[in-house]
Amino acid sequence: MSTQHHFDVLIIGTGSAGLMSALQLSDDLSIALIAKDKILEGSSYYAQGGISAVLDNQDNFESHIADTLSTGVDLGDEAAVRFMVEQAPSAIESLEQAGVVFTQQQGQYHLTTEGGHSNRRVAHVADKTGQSIQTNLLDSAKSKKNITLFENFIAIDLLTQNQHCYGAYILNKSNNEIESFIAHKTIIATGGASKSYLYTSNPDTSTGDGIAMAYRGGCHIANMEFTQFHPTCLYHPHAKSFLISEALRGEGAKLILPTGATFMHKYDERGELAPRDIVARAIDSEMKTHGFDCVYLDISFKDKDWIESHFPTINKKCASFGIDISQDPIPVVPAAHYTCGGIQTDINAHSNINNLYAIGEVAHVGVHGANRMASNSLLECIVFAKACAKHINQQALKPQHLDFDNWDASRVSLSKEKVMVTHLWDEIRRIMWNFVGIVRSNKRLHSAQMRLAQIQNEVDEYYRLYLISSDLIELRNLVTTAQLIVKSAILRKESRGLHYNEDYPQTSNKAKDTIIEL
Ligand code: FAD
Ligand code: SIN
C-alpha cells in the first residue's frame, strides 16, 4: 500500500511563484510545497536583472502597460496586463515584507532599465535579485507551521476526474516510491520549458513538467510557439547556462562583432535596448552571415569599482573564466530563456479544470503576448501567486468524495536500456535547437513534428515497460512540450514577436492566441 498524503492545498514548485502563493494562503490551510530538486533550485534563484514596477514619480502605469503590450506585439491581454502593472508596487511591498532589501541610491530605489521599457522601473538587488527573493521567501515559508516542504519529490501526473483535480501522483526520489497527494486545491508552479532546447540560460529543472502534466489532464495550453531566446548568454566551453543580464545594456553596454563594429543600429532605432526578439534575431543574423561563433558585449567603458558594485556576480563569474569585463568585451550568444506560453488561466490563475490553478512561468494568463518584456516575469510570479491565494482563501473547502487507485507499479520492471533515455533527451533538444529556433520555416517545423512523433511512441513504450525514474518523467514531459511548441508554431501562419517563420514573414492584422487541447 503506497503512502497517501492529505492537504488542503498542494503546490507543485518552489520558485518565486510557488513560495509566494504558500505565504499568501490563510494560516488555517494545510499546505504541501513540492520541489523536484533542492527547494531553491529553479529559474527564480538565478534571476539577475530585477523586477519591474512603477516606483518613480516620473513613471506611470499607462507607460508600463503600453510598453508591455507593445513588446508583446499586441497579443497580450490588456486587462491582465493592467492588473499586473497596477499590482506591481504591492508585489514589491510583499517581497520587502518577506525581507528582500532592494538596492537603493540616495534613499530611493536604484531603478535600472532593460529592453522595451521606456522608463527606469526595474528594482533589483545588485545582480542577484532572484537569490535574495528566494532565500527570503524560503525563510518565511519555513517559519510557518501550516506549510510542509517536500524536497526531491517529482510530480508525475495530476489526479483528475470529471474535469476536477484532486492532487497528484508524486515520485519520492529518495526511496523511489510513488505517493498520492490528495488536495482540495492544486497549484502548478513548475516553471518553464527552456530545457527543451540544446542551449539555454535555465537550470535543469525547466523541463516543462507542469505544462505536459496539465495537457494530459485536460488543460488548455496557449501560445507555446513563443519561446524567448535571451540575446546574451556567456559563450565559453565551460560556462553552462550563465546569463549576462540585459541590465548591462540598460547601463549602456554595446553589442559588437569580433571586428569591433557595432551592429544593433542597423536593426532597430532603440539599438541595444530593442525588445529581446529583435536583438536575438539580429545577433543570429550577424553570426550566420559572417560565420561568427559569438558576438561580444562591451561594458569596459565603466570603471572597475562601478562594475564590481553593480554586477558582482557577473563580474566574478567572467573573471573565473579569465575575462576581465572592465577591460575586455564578453563573448555572448543567444539561448532559450523563457516560455511565454503555458497553461491557460484566468486572472485568478484558475485553469479550465476545477480546483486546478497555474502560476508563474508555467502559466499563460496573457500578460506577455508574443514576447515577454524584461523583468516582467518575476512580477507575474508574485502578482498572480497573490491573486491565486486570494481566490482560494475566499472559498469554503468542501469535503471530497474520491474514488481513485494508488499507483500500480506491479507490471513494470527495471530498465537495462537507460541509454535510450539519455539519447532521446539529447535528440529532442537538438531537434528543437536546429529546427524550431530563432528563425523557423515550414519545412524544418514539419521535419521536427515527424521525428518528435516517433520519439513520443518510443517514450510511451519505454514508459509502459519500465520502472519510472526522474529522468524518464522529464523525458516524457520534454517530448510532449516540444510537440506542443512545434504544433503551435505550425498553427501560426504569420511572424510575430518571438515566432519568426521565413515562409510567413508578415504580421497578420488579426492578433489571436494559439490554443491547444488534448
Ligand atoms: P521556477 O523558479 O523555475 O521554479 C520551478 C519550481 O518547480 C522548482 O522548485 C522546481 O523544482 C519545481 N518543479 C518543476 N517540475 C516539477 C515536478 N515535476 N515536480 C515537482 N516540482 C517540480 N525574470 C525577471 O523578471 N527578472 C529577471 O531578472 C530574470 N532573470 C533571469 C535570469 C535567469 C538566468 C533565468 C533562467 C531566468 C530569469 N528570469 C527573470 C525569468 C524568471 O526568473 C522566471 O521566469 C521565474 O523565476 C519563474 O519562476 P517560477 O516560480 O514560475 O518557476
Ligand atoms: C536579465 O537580467 O537579463 C534577465 C531579465 C529577464 O529575463 O527578465
Residue 21 lies in a domain: yes
Contact 293, 287 (CB under 8 A): yes
Which cell numbers hold the place of 99?
Answer: 525581507
Residue 104 lies in a domain: yes
Query: 205 C-alpha to center of ligand 1: Å?
Result: 8
Strands (E), 307-437: 330-339, 342-344, 356-358, 363-364
Query: 486 C-alpha to center of ligand 2: Å?
Result: 25
> Within this chain, do residues 375 and 348 fall inside the same structural domain, yes or no?
yes
Query: 156 C-alpha to center of ligand 1: Å?
Result: 19
Instruction: Count Cβ neighbours within 10 Å for each residue of 85-121 and write b for 16 or more, e otherwise.
Output: bebbeebbebbeebebebbeeeeebbbbbbbbbebbb
Please give the tally of structural domains in the chain: 3
Given 335, 361, 385, the domain boundary residue is 335
Given 335, 360, 385, the domain boundary residue is 335
Could you tell me the sign of the dihedral formed by the alpha carbons of 345, 346, 348, 351, in that order? negative
Amino acid 1: pLDDT: 60
Residue 465 lies in a domain: yes
Residue 409 lies in a domain: no
> Within this chain, do residues 174 and 270 fall inside the same structural domain, yes or no?
no
> Within this chain, do residues 457 and 508 fall inside the same structural domain, yes or no?
yes
> Within this chain, do residues 450 and 478 fall inside the same structural domain, yes or no?
yes
Each residue's pLDDT tens digit, 302-356: 999 999 999 999 999 999 999 999 999 999 999 999 999 999 999 999 999 999 9
pLDDT at 400 over 80: no
Whether residue 231 has its Cβ less than 6 Å from ligand 1:
no
Whether residue 116 has its Cβ less than 6 Å from ligand 1:
no
CB count, 10 Å around CB of 350? Answer: 21
User: From the alpha carbon of 232, which atom of ligand 2 is closest?
Assistant: 3
> Within this chain, do residues 215 and 261 fall inside the same structural domain, yes or no?
no
User: From the alpha carbon of 338, which atom of ligand 2 is closest?
Assistant: 7
Give the pLDDT band (50/70/90) at residue 208: very high
Q: Which amino acid is at 114?
A: E
Q: Active-site residue numbers?
A: 276
> Within this chain, do residues 196 and 258 fall inside the same structural domain, yes or no?
no
Give the pLDDT band (50/70/90) at residue 379: very high
Residue 405 lies in a domain: no
Residue 317 lies in a domain: yes
Given 358, 378, 393, the domain boundary residue is 393
Whether residue 147 has its Cβ less than 6 Å from ligand 1:
no
Q: pTM for this one? A: 0.97
> Within this chain, do residues 109 and 179 fall inside the same structural domain, yes or no?
yes
> Within this chain, do residues 352 and 329 fall inside the same structural domain, yes or no?
no
> Within this chain, do residues 41 and 164 fall inside the same structural domain, yes or no?
yes
Each residue's pLDDT tens digit, 126-151: 999 999 999 999 999 999 999 999 99
> Within this chain, do residues 161 and 241 fall inside the same structural domain, yes or no?
no
Q: Which residue's alpha carbon is at the smallest distance from atom 1 of ligand 2?
A: 245
| CATH number of the domain where residue 133 is located | 3.50.50.60
| CATH number of the domain where residue 459 is located | 1.20.58.100
Domain that holds residue 307: 234-335
Residue 412 lies in a domain: no
> Within this chain, do residues 315 and 434 fall inside the same structural domain, yes or no?
no
Residue 1 lies in a domain: no
User: From the alpha carbon of 246, which atom of ligand 2 is closest?
Assistant: 3
> Within this chain, do residues 383 and 487 fall inside the same structural domain, yes or no?
no
Whether residue 375 has its Cβ less than 6 Å from ligand 1:
yes
Each residue's pLDDT tens digit, 261-306: 999 999 999 999 999 999 999 999 999 999 999 999 999 999 999 9
| CATH number of the domain where residue 322 is located | 3.90.700.10
